[in-house]
Amino acid sequence: MEEIKIEFDFTLYKENENIRPLKLNIKEETYRDLANLELSMTGRVDALISNTFIQEAVQLVINAISLFEKGYFDSAYYSLRQSLEVSTTIVYLMELDSTDREIELLNWKKQSRFPMYSEMVKFLIKNEKEFANIKKQMSNYFNKLQLVKERLNKYVHKQGFNTFYVSRNHFANKSRDDNQFIKEFEGFVEACIGAIAVFRLSIDPIPVLLLEEEIYERLTGSLTEPFTEDFISKYIGEDEIRSYKKTNIYLGYYEGCLTIEKRLPSVIDLLNYQFIDKSKIDEILSQVHLLSDVDIYAVTISNFSDKVATIYCDEGLTFYFTTTKSNRLKNSFNSMILKQVKESNSHKNFPYDEAFLTYYKVDEIDIFIEHNEEFEESEVSLLTQLLKNSRKNNV
């Protein structure tokens, strides 16, 4: 009889001996919510670096979820705690005056002496600026957050046998409740996402302000995407957001935004969604002073001919679509086609599936026009002149 040889990988066995992967049910939904948080980037010129910190905090939450599912639960808790510290760091830096901020940011970059989480929070409260006012108005929220931070520390510092791999995952552990363990962790994930969102709101209130129609119509084209109402309800809370709306930073921004000119519906469509309603050109041009040069070029081209369906700028990085439906059957877009048109000998009436492409270069901006019928030579000449004069004369 042939001898059966059983190989035993001792290294693999030891690496997995006390590791028990678990499945979370919230992952897909949570990742979508984290994307909403990432898109809430600030447009404050002096605070643009904070967007990187928010993105890092989001990544730390994602890492925590991944580590937990793989069974490395203490590392998962550590990553959650770090998401709070990274979020606090940017608020701390933003509340310093410009000189101190440069010094502290340099210390942070060089990994020199830099305050820990508790030190930053104490400074922010003592500093009596925006964060202190937010913490005062949202005291219940921050009291709950402190309890979460303390609970995370228990796992990070290995306090209690339930934080030990060799105890928690031992086959003889009859008291282990994986469902409760998972539920607790999911609760901490939710709390940390909410905290990152609140720290984000300490920089500016735009993600919440944009939910107000009066403000939305004035801040059209903002770099910031608003938090969804579901996001706020789930991660911050209706009562807490009402408290936030009583803070100095929210009220100050709100009053300031009311002094900004309200955008007309067609202009909102243009600035927010790059959609040009050709029947509303006069309405759009009544607020031409609110448009960028590229917006003006796009409006000029759209108004030029019913043949025009879509306008691409800078090889498709920005594009505008219009009420004229393209003859193209495909919905896909390939920037290489635009490059071919630009590098071709003829920039006009380049076949593009069932439509055509025509290329212009205006003020160093590459503009590609998708049109359903060929342009006649007279149309090409006229459009050249219109584009040449449009920015100078503000259409």
Q: Taking 60 as the threshold, does the pLDDT of residue 347 lie above it?
A: yes
Q: List CB contacts of 52: < 8 A, sequence separation 6 or more.
A: none
For residue 3, give the DSSP letter: P
Calculate ∠ Cα 175-176-180, nearest 5°: 115
* Cβ-based burial of 352 (10 A; exposed 0-12, middle 13-18, buried ≥19): buried
Q: Over 60: is that where the pLDDT of 1 sits?
A: no
Binned at pLDDT 50, 70 and 90, residue 140 comes out as very high
Q: Model confidence at 116, in pLDDT bands (50, 70, 90)?
A: confident
| pTM for the structure as a whole | 0.84
Rounded mean pLDDT, 302-308: 94
Kindly tell me if the per-residue pLDDT of 276 is higher than 60.
yes
Average pLDDT (234-238) is 95
pLDDT at 395: 55
Q: How many CB atoms lie within 10 A of CB 28?
A: 9
Residue 23 to residue 164: CA distance in whole angstroms? 19
Which one-letter amino acid corresponds to residue 258? L
For the chain, the residue count is 395
Q: How far is CA 339 from CA 312, 356, 366, in A?
A: 12, 14, 10
Cβ atoms of 358 and 349 within 8 Å: the answer is yes
The answer to whether residue 210 scores a pLDDT higher than 80 is yes
Looking at 22-36, 113-127, 246-260, 372-386, which range is the least confident one?
113-127
Instruction: Taking residues 53-80, report their average pLDDT.
Output: 95
Which DSSP letter does residue 161 get?
G
Backbone angles phi, psi at 275, to 5 degrees: -110, 130
More confident residue, 274 or 176: 274
> pLDDT averaged over the chain?
89
Residue 210 carries which DSSP code?
A: T
